[in-house]
């Protein structure tokens, strides 16, 4: 190539470069510090993009804070940017990102035990240990008999106080004296030894034959009395229990009556209550004929409720002792435990700053340590029993109606099913006629109508 051609090519290249450079400067804005941008994105997500958008729209404030900043910056000269406003904007931008959906509060299952320090000590009636048991084993039969009389007299008769220790000391010294003589002379006979007789007179406590008979007589009398008391103990306890029940009978009957008043409002469905109360036995009998299945459900539930409610009341008021061998008592104990388990597992047992504690644990605490706990009262358990029966009745009736509807039976309205009995029309009274025949006298063999044992009537108070 010639020099002219080379110059022309260089000029064209320069022109192309001049055309490309302005386009690049126009299209690409100045990039921020890449290190700062990376750190900023790690900490705050895509905050770099937001800053670029704010720089492009400087003339149009988007928030009240930005507008206030523009007003405050107008009279001032250009100053280097401060870091603090940027931090405030960063914090404001972070607030909506930190918002998280509310988490459901976890239910706390709290089942407090009785503190070890508050547990009552178990005391068992055990026979007193014989403190002379080992010593008696060293005595001869005659010595043992005398020593036992001395021990009894020392504990029960003031005139012989301390004789147990006196005879213990005497027999110990006597044995030592004889052992020494036997060691010296294997053929030793204490009956021929005057020194031993002197030893006895000097050291033996004063205890005559008449004293021994007196003590024996008293021992026999005390043993006889103890045997009689032991035989009569069951009868005595039974009499005390009967007297206690008789004293509490009015309060127990009143409590049972109150329970029936509460039960009739709970067990009998509301759609029948008014009709049954106003119509009485006649309305109930008519309902039983027209709705035998529903009547059977309510009758059975009412019977069970009264049985369990009366039994609970008797136990609570100590009219009947709790007997785990009784099937009804056992069912009630299991039911109470099951209700407490379900309530505790529900996790909502805190009330007014106090925690629910099982009844058997709560009442074993001293009264001055119960303030941080609470438990169900006797009335609470009776109400829970009635509510559980209500649930059973409603569920059973609803299920029965569903079965009947599926089989094509169309149920009438409750008001149509159980109508209130009409009042009998007034009839003109006939004049009183006196029978001329003699009146029948009392007949001991006369039969009387048996009262119907109807649980529904009992619940309603008829």
For residues 376 and 342, the answer to whether their CB atoms sit within 8 Å is no
Q: Write down the pLDDT at residue 225.
A: 92
Q: Is residue 9 in a domain?
A: yes
Q: Which residue has the higher pLDDT, 244 or 67?
A: 244
d(CA 218, CA 157): 10
Q: Write down the pLDDT at residue 414.
A: 46
pTM for the model stands at 0.51
Same domain, 270 and 194: no
Same domain, 317 and 394: yes
Q: What is the pLDDT of residues 176-227, one digit of tens each?
A: 999 998 998 888 888 888 888 899 888 999 988 899 999 999 999 999 999 9
Which sign, positive or negative, has the C-alpha torsion 87, 88, 92, 98?
A: positive
Half-sphere CA count of 376, side-chain side, radius 13 A = 20
Same domain, 312 and 263: yes
Q: Which residue has the higher pLDDT, 38 or 366?
A: 366
Highest mean pLDDT out of 16-25, 75-84, 322-331, 418-427 = 322-331
Q: pLDDT grade, residue 109 (50/70/90)?
A: confident
Q: What is the pLDDT of residues 323-347, one digit of tens each?
A: 999 999 999 999 999 999 999 998 8
Q: Which residue has the higher pLDDT, 456 or 161?
A: 161
Q: Write down the pLDDT at residue 97.
A: 53
Per-position DSSP letters for 142-195, written without gaps between them = HHHHHHHHHHHHHHH-GGGTTHHHHHHHHHHHHHHHHHHHHHH-TT--GGG-HH
Q: Is residue 243 in a domain?
A: yes
What interhelical angle do 141-156 and 163-184 show, nearest 10?
160
Average of per-residue pLDDT across 105-113 = 75
Q: pLDDT grade, residue 100 (50/70/90)?
A: low
Q: Is residue 267 in a domain?
A: yes
249: pLDDT strictly greater than 70: yes
C-alpha of 217 from chain center: 56
Q: Is residue 392 in a domain?
A: yes
Average of per-residue pLDDT across 140-154 = 91
Q: Is residue 8 in a domain?
A: yes
Same domain, 268 and 397: yes
381: pLDDT strictly greater than 90: yes
d(CA 348, CA 337): 17
Q: Write down the pLDDT at residue 447.
A: 41
22: pLDDT strictly greater than 50: no
Q: Which residue has the higher pLDDT, 409 or 126?
A: 409
18: pLDDT strictly greater than 60: no
Q: Write down the pLDDT at residue 8.
A: 59
DSSP element (H, E) containing 335:
helix 327-345
d(CA 461, CA 371): 40
Same domain, 153 and 257: no
Q: Is residue 231 in a domain?
A: no
Same domain, 56 and 140: no
Average of per-residue pLDDT across 285-308 = 91
Same domain, 143 and 86: no
d(CA 331, CA 265): 24
Q: pLDDT grade, residue 272 (50/70/90)?
A: confident
d(CA 197, CA 189): 12
Q: Write down the pLDDT at residue 451.
A: 47
Residues of the domain holding 194? 133-207
Last residue of a domain, one of 96, 116, 141: 96
Counting residues of the chain whose pLDDT is more than 90, the rounded percentage is 33
Q: Write down the pLDDT at residue 439.
A: 44
Q: Write down the pLDDT at residue 188.
A: 87
Closest C-alpha among 285, 279, 330, 307 to residue 386: 307
Using a 10 angstrom Cβ sphere, with 0-12 exposed, 13-18 middle and 19 or more buried, the burial of residue 302 is buried
Same domain, 270 and 407: yes
Q: Is residue 264 in a domain?
A: yes
Same domain, 247 and 315: yes
Number of domains in the chain: 3
Mean pLDDT of the chain: 75
- Pull the structure tokens for residue 210: 């008449």
Q: Write down the pLDDT at residue 43.
A: 44
288: pLDDT strictly greater than 70: yes
75: pLDDT strictly greater than 60: no
Q: pLDDT grade, residue 117 (50/70/90)?
A: low
Q: Write down the pLDDT at residue 98.
A: 53
Average of per-residue pLDDT across 130-139 = 88
Same domain, 306 and 361: yes
Same domain, 291 and 368: yes
389: pLDDT strictly greater than 90: yes
Q: What is the pLDDT of residues 298-312, one digit of tens each?
A: 999 999 999 999 999
Q: Write down the pLDDT at residue 412.
A: 55
Q: Is residue 32 in a domain?
A: yes
Q: pLDDT grade, residue 27 (50/70/90)?
A: very low
Same domain, 385 and 272: yes
Q: Write down the pLDDT at residue 106.
A: 58
Q: Write down the pLDDT at residue 163.
A: 92
247: pLDDT strictly greater than 60: yes
Could you tell me where the DSSP H helices lie in 185-269? 194-203, 209-266
């Amino acid at each position: 190539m010639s020099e002219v051609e080379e110059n022309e090519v260089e000029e064209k290249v320069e022109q192309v470069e001049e055309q490309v450079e302005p386009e690049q400067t126009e299209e690409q804005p100045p990039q921020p510090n890449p290190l700062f941008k990376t750190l900023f994105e790690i900490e705050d997500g895509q905050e770099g993009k937001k800053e670029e958008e704010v720089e492009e729209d400087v003339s149009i404030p988007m928030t009240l804070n930005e507008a206030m900043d523009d007003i405050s910056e107008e009279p001032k000269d250009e100053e280097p940017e401060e870091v603090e406003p940027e931090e405030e904007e960063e914090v404001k931008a972070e607030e909506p990102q930190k918002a998280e959906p509310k988490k459901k509060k976890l239910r706390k299952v709290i089942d407090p035990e009785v503190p070890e320090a508050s547990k009552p000590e178990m005391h068992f009636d055990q026979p007193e240990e014989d403190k002379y048991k080992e010593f008696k084993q060293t005595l001869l039969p005659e010595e043992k008999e005398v020593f036992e009389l001395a021990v009894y007299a020392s504990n029960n008769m003031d005139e012989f106080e301390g004789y147990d220790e006196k005879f213990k000391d005497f027999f110990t010294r006597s044995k030592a004296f004889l052992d020494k003589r036997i060691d010296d002379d294997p053929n030793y006979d204490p009956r021929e030894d005057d020194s031993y007789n002197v030893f006895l007179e000097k050291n033996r406590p004063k205890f005559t034959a008449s004293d021994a008979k007196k003590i024996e007589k008293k021992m026999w009398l005390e043993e006889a009395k103890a045997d009689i008391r032991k035989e009569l103990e069951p009868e005595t306890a039974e009499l005390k229990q009967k007297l206690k029940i008789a004293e509490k009978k009015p309060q127990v009957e009143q409590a049972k009556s109150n329970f029936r008043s509460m039960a009739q409002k709970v067990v009998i469905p509301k759609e029948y209550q008014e009709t049954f109360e106003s119509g009485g036995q006649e309305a109930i009998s008519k309902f039983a004929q027209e709705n035998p299945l529903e009547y059977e459900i309510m009758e059975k539930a009412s019977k069970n409720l009264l049985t369990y409610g009366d039994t609970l009341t008797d136990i609570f008021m100590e009219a009947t002792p709790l007997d785990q061998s009784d099937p009804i008592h056992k069912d009630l104990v299991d039911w109470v435990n099951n209700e407490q388990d379900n309530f505790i597992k529900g996790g909502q047992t805190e009330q007014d700053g106090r925690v629910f504690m099982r009844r058997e644990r709560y009442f074993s605490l001293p009264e001055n340590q119960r303030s941080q706990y609470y438990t169900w009262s006797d009335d609470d358990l009776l109400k829970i029993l009635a509510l559980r029966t209500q649930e059973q009745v409603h569920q059973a009736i609803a299920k029965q109606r569903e079965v009947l509807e599926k089989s094509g039976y169309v149920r009438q309205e409750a008001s149509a099913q159980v109508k209130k009995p009409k009042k009998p029309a007034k009839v003109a009274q006939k004049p009183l006629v006196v029978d001329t025949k003699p009146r029948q006298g009392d007949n001991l063999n006369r039969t009387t109508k048996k009262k119907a044992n109807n649980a529904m009537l009992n619940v309603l108070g008829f």
